[in-house]
Structure 1
Amino acid sequence: MKSDYDYVIVGGGLAGASAVEGIRERDAAGSILLIGEEVHLPYDRPPLSKKLWFGKKNVEDIFLHDRAFYDTHGVALALGAAASRLDPAAKRITLAGGATYGYGKLLLATGCKPRHLDIPGGDLDGICYFRDLDDYLHTRGKAAEGKSAVVVGGGFIGSELAAALNINKLDVTMIFPGELLCDRVLPDYLGRAVQQRYQEKGVRILASDKPVSFGNNGNQFVTRTWKGETIASDIVIVGVGVVPDLELARSGGLEVGNGIVVNEYLETSSPDIYAAGDNAFFPYRVLGQAMRIEHWDHALIQGRWAGRNMAGAHEPYTHLPYFFSDLFEFGYEATGEVDSRLETFADWQKENETGVIYYLRDGKVRGVMMCNVWDKVETARELIRKDETVSPEKLRGLIR
């Protein structure tokens, strides 16, 4: 492997792999090095808590490309390699093993790392802070019918995994500090309905609670909670959010905050260095504010956009990403500012099951959640982009 490349991409996830495609759209010959901390080829992350559990995908189906793709597109791979130091002045990046590489243009697509619980036993061997393919393989290997699981966290990952484990006939207990599941995005009336559905399926819900310690009794984990509950289980999964991976950016003196700060062209504060994906704090044009987004569609499109800009496109990032989730039979797609603190208007076909929720600020639609209503994301995007004041009467029946 040579030591200097026209393009170096740090991050072997969706944003990094998409950047390869973006570069090749404009530069067919420039040399590319893709550095990934995991030993696996880049893969899709959503199936780890969704389709892999339901038999709708196999592990081999989640990889974005096979190795031949990277060979064909002239991409050198350094997998299982963590980048440890960035020197923007010398335009070089150093890996943990000591290897160094020069770059013409650099993309930081380092993503996020899971938050860990700072409690006694929080680092106990076998507790899974669920994030990557190895975590799925580890958990799936233990998730046999009749086993028990504690899931800590009531957000996307916790809710999806609790449903998946329940469907696979495990005895599941959920623990989270809020009153309702997914309370940052679901309005309270919908959160209550979804939570009731979980309980009807047999998931034990310990809301407004949190673990204070983990231990083991030889055969099982023992979780103790703030409210005095003690739960023995075969599996403990923690999904309490993530933090952007900023260590490499900091080592190079880049501007960081809630992510690596980039401009509308996805350029960082240092020349020839870009950032994209979960770790990028970027100007969200449609919503008129700077944000960091952790969703699949965002990583897919922003990574490709960054690759094109690295290869000279100089195009402002204007995409309005969407996200999706499956919570038992309740599935949704959503786009824009989907924040439960906003005013909402629900246009139900079947209450709390099928319909559209509009999230409004000052009478304008800022976000849309389509509950068991499919293939309407672009319609919702157009509504948000219009930025017009609308009444609930005008929204009724608008998206079906």
Structure 2
Amino acid sequence: MLLRAVGRQMATALRQKTAVRSIAMSRMALGGGGHHHHDPQPVYIPKPGPLDWSLCGSGGKPKHEFEPYKPEVGTFVGALVFVGLTIAAVLFKTDTFKEDKHHHHAHKKHAAHHEEEEHAEPEPEPEAAPVVEEPAVQEEEGAPTASDSDSATTSEPEPVQAAEISEPAPAPPAEPAVTPKEAEPEEPAASTSSEEKPAAEPTTSEAKEEKLHCEYVIIGSGTAAYYASLAIRAKQAEAKVLMIGEETELPYNRPPLSKELWWYGDETAATKLDYTSLSGRKRDIFYEVDGFFVTPEDLPKATHGGVSILRGKKAVKICEEDKKVILDDGTTVGYDKVLIATGVRPKKEKIFEEASDEAKQKITYYHYPADFKRVEGGLADKSVQKVTIIGSGLLASELAYSIKRKYGDVQIHQVFEEKFAVEDILPAHLAEKSTEAIRKSGIDVRAEQKIHGVRKCCKNVVLLLKDGSELRTDLVIVATGEEPNSEIIEASGLKVDEKFGGVQADKHLKVAENVWAAGAIVAFEDVVLGKRRISSWEHAQVSGRLAGENMATNGQTEKAFWYQPSFFTKFAPHLHINAVGQCDSSLDTVTVHADPDGETPLEKAVVFYKSKDDGSIVGVLLLNVFGPSLDVARRIIDDRKKVDEYKEVAKLFPLYDPPKVEEEEKEKSP
């Protein structure tokens, strides 16, 4: 009975404190009562009545009536006082907010330890005193940090520096047993390491080695490296990936540098590297924003992994035995698995390298975002009115067309030694048509011309051509080819492919134990077309994904490279070219043209490239042919069958536009 009364009293008191009331679910409380045309009466909430029972079993009354609308000022004042006292206690009674809290903790700990030693000195018996001194003398010879226990709290940095300077001295003997008292002075060295870090950094690189160790290391920060990191993280959600990039830019998409940035870029393109896509949205060339990447310092502490990038660092050597990558500044990065994705760089031309320093200021090897900014900036501010592009390949032809498309009043000259533009890919008759199309777009094409001299004249550069003529220009853009960044391959003792260049890899893109390669640097075994080295955006993407996935298999079966990457180019108003497979003009080709019908504004054709070994189709080039044609071409290449009737194979591609509705009705009418 007494327990029941106590329970009821506590429940009632709780209701009074929290102002909780039980409302009967009557018709009046729910809005009922009375007739439907009357307004519902307000809900009646009775005041709390007296307690039914007191502790003694008799009825009792509350000391204070409940007033729901009276502000409880005392409660708020008490809460504020409590919060203030708590903050004051934290500020004055602890060292939580002190800047040197780590040093303060260590100081308190060693001060307490010093007090313990002072109080503990009279306790040992006189006979045990010599026994304590002997290990201390031995430790002075090998480790001066434990020479004087009385001065441990006042001169901590000095013994540590002395220990670092005396590292070449002989190691201390290991015979005497180390007691907890002797090992205690080592703690101050660890607690004050942040203060001694500037003095310790230049002495050795071992600290850097420990800090820069990552499970997956990617040498390079381009397209292949970026997609490899995505594949690794997709396979292992908590993997830690470190990219080492020689460029200072974030990973970016390179093709827009010669296409979209010129076609759809506005006044902000030179600074933000952005353009308006076909969907009408603004986008830039970068794959991710800076916040996507974890800082190298925070990567080891990332609970769920992440991708980090070292920008402006060049890897110079891979040590397979030690599983380490050596950087140009001497830093060593440890790895479990490493990917080589160093890509390619512009090919240097001797004639321009031997030019004067003044002339070199007007010469640009076009390859990086900084090159686009320089050219676009000069054209935008009208300081560049004449541009000469050296080269006959895709990049040179794309640049000539793209610059002329945006700046129609600028004079564009394209100079090359070959007979036709893009003749290394296109068969002769299409290369000739392409060169004429470039000329019709307003570009001055100087074919079969070689640069014999370069000199600076006033604000211009004068180029001496093979035929003796001179070409005066404001800016020279060199785009004569690319070469793989293979220095690290040679320095690491890896195999360099003599025919294709780059590093040799198998069909899984594996170079050696725990070493893979991807992108334009790798010469790999294609399961369909044999040994190849491809320099295209889609190959960088696909090979990066495959290499990253194979790196993260952890003993599972690795996948072989079988996909045939494609590329797209446009260097004249009515020349849209898509190609897949091995498209080399040195191979035998068969071209199937669509019959001109007057209503087809674009010339359409399909070019088949035949293998030198068995005559099978190894490449397909599509001129103004769209739709799912690339997938059809990949299927033809994968089959590796000999073809006799190429016109029949060409029927698989939409060479002709579908008939219009009017034409279909005419055909159906009698």
Identify whether the pair has TM-score above 0.5, normalized to the shorter chain.
yes
What letter is aligned with 1:339? D
Alpha carbons of 1:334 and 1:212: their partners in 2 closer, same or farther (altered >3 Å)? same
Equivalences for residues 82-101 of structure 1 within 5 A = 82-101=314-333
Deviations along 1:237-256, one digit per CA (max 9) or x if unpaired, are: 00111111111111111111
Match of 2:373 in 1: 137
Give the one of 13, 37, 46 matched to 2:255. Answer: 46
Alignment match, 1:384: 637
Structure 1: gaps of 5 or more residues: none
Alignment partner of 1:121 is 2:355: yes
Does 1:359 find its partner at 2:609? yes
Measured after TM superposition, the shift of residue 367 of structure 1 is 0.8
The 1:339/1:172 distance shift into structure 2, 3 A limit, reads same
Deviates more, 1:114-123 or 1:133-142: 114-123
- The range that moved more, 17-26 or 352-361, is 352-361
**Cα displacement (A) at 1:363:** 4.2
Tell me how far 1:122 sits from its aligned partner. Answer: 8.0
Q: 1:256 aligns with which of 488, 496, 504?
A: 496
Superposition pairs of residues 64-83 of structure 1, within 5 angstroms: 64-71=287-294, 74-83=306-315
- Note the alpha carbon deviations across 1:119-144, whole angstroms, 9 max, x for none: 23187233111111111111111124
Counterpart amino acid of residue 236 in structure 2: D
Deviates more, 1:113-122 or 1:234-243: 113-122
Cα 1:34–1:371 shift into 2, 3 Å: same
Indicate how the Cα distance of structure 1 residues 92 and 159 shifts in structure 2: closer, same or farther if over 3 A, else same.
same
Q: Does the residue aligned with 1:212 lie in a helix, a strand or coil?
A: strand
- Paired amino acid for 2:465: T
User: Which of 314, 321, 325 in structure 1 is aligned with 2:569?
Assistant: 325
User: Is contact 1:143-1:165 (8 Å) kept?
Assistant: no
Whole-angstrom CA distance in 2 between matches of 1:53 and 1:320? 28
Q: Structure 1 residue 163: deviation in Å? A: 0.7
Structure 2 residue identity aligned to 1:394: E
Q: CA separation in 2, counterparts of 1:55 and 1:14?
A: 22
Distance 1:76 1:176 in 2: 42
Partner SS for 2:591: strand
Partner of 1:305: 546
Q: For residue 368 of structure 1, give the secondary structure of its aligned residue in structure 2.
A: strand
Deviation at 1:56, TM superposition (A): 5.5
**Matched residue, 2:585:** 340
Q: Whose relative contact order is higher, 1 or 2, with alpha carbons under 8 Å and at least 6 apart? A: 1
Question: Which structure has greater helix proportion?
Answer: 2
Q: Is the 2:591–2:608 Cα contact (8 Å) retained in structure 1?
A: yes
Please report the RMSD computed on the Cα atoms of aligned residues, expressed in angstroms.
1.9
Pairing of 1:104-119 with structure 2 (within 5 A): 104-119=336-351
C-alpha separation between the residues in 1 aligned to 2:526 and 2:287?
Answer: 26
CA gap of 1:23–1:363, structure 2 versus 1, over 3 A, is same
Give the TM-score, by structure 2 length. 0.57
Distance in 1 between the 2:510 and 2:240 partners? Answer: 20
How far, CA to CA, are the matches of 2:265 and 2:524 in structure 1?
34
Deviation at 1:345, TM superposition (A): 2.3
Which residue is equivalent to 2:651?
397
Which structure 2 residue ranges, 5 or more long, are not aligned?
Answer: 1-207, 275-283, 295-303, 597-601, 655-670
Q: CA deviation at 1:393?
A: 3.0
Match of 1:279 in 2: 521
1:152 matches 2:393: no
Alpha-carbon distance in 2 for matches of 1:36, 1:154: 30
Q: What is the alpha-carbon distance in structure 2 between the residues aligned to residue 350 and residue 238 of structure 1? A: 38
Contact preservation (8 Å) 2:592, 2:647: no
CA distance in 2, matches of 1:137, 1:285: 41
Structure 1 pair 350–112 and aligned structure 2 pair: CA distance change class (3 A): farther
Q: Which amino acid aligns with 1:326?
A: K
1:187-206 → structure 2 map (5 Å cutoff):
187-206=427-446
- How far 1:283 moved relative to its partner? 0.7
Q: Is residue 594 of structure 2 the alignment partner of residue 349 of structure 1?
A: yes
1:86 is aligned with what amino acid? I
Distance (Å, rounded) in 2 between the aligned partners of 1:214 and 1:97: 36
Work out the number of aligned pairs and report it. Answer: 398
Cα deviation 1:220-266 (Å, max 9, x = unaligned): 11111222221111110001111111111111111112110011111
1:274 is displaced (CA, Å) by 0.8
Flag the 1:306–1:161 CA change in 2: closer, same or farther, 3 A.
Answer: same
Q: After superposition, give the CA deviation of every residue in 1:353-373 in whole Å (9 maximum; x if it has no partner).
A: 323222223542211111122
Cα gap change, 1:148/1:350 in structure 2, threshold over 3 Å: closer, same or farther? farther
For 1:342 and 1:96, locate their aligned partners in 2 and report how far apart those are by CA, in whole Å: 42
For the 8 Å contact 2:606–2:650, the answer to whether it is kept is no
TM-score (norm 1): 0.95
Higher mean alpha-carbon deviation, 220-229 vs 185-194, is at: 220-229
Distance 1:234 1:291, change over 3 A: same
**Separation in structure 2 between the aligned mates of residue 201 and residue 240 of structure 1, nearest angstrom:** 21
- Report the AA paired with residue 642 of structure 2: T
